[in-house]
Amino acid sequence: QVQLVESGGGLVQAGGSLRLSCAASGRTFSSYAMGWFRQAPGKEREFVEAISWKGGNTYYADSVKGRFTISRDDAKNTVYLQMNSLKPEDTAVYYCAADPSYGSIWPYNFGSWGQGTQVTVSS
């Protein structure tokens, strides 16, 4: 029901910043809860941050608290992940996800996923 395409990944030194973008299709993007996940080599996929369909609520993992910020621009059908003070342990493939259920509440049911974008943080 929704297609997601991530971009903005790349190489960055520890302490640097990156801004990831996720472009989504669909007429009802504004009603989707959106989230970011990541998966490091040899590790399971983990939750990073999410934003409610109204944009008023955000949820985040303790590991990124104070460093990452999720936001959305419904007019552009895009969700962002601003990553600051990056650490080597942030290295992973980052995935965008969507919960297309109208008025969904946390915890979300992310049923649509992007292909991922690589983020590599050097020490």
Query: Tens digit of pLDDT for each residue in 32-80?
Result: 999 999 999 999 999 999 999 888 899 999 999 999 999 999 999 999 9
Measure the CA–CA gap between 112 and 92, rounded to whole angstroms. 19
What average pLDDT does the chain have?
95
Q: Is the pLDDT of residue 27 over 80?
A: no
Q: Of 75, 74, 73, 67, which is closest to residue 119 (Cα–Cα)? A: 67
Give the E-state strand segments of the chain in sequence order: 4-7, 10-13, 18-24, 33-39, 46-51, 58-60, 68-73, 78-83, 92-99, 112-113, 117-122
> What does DSSP assign to residue 65?
T
Q: Is the pLDDT of residue 26 over 80?
A: no
Measure the CA–CA gap between 9 and 82, rounded to whole angstroms. 11
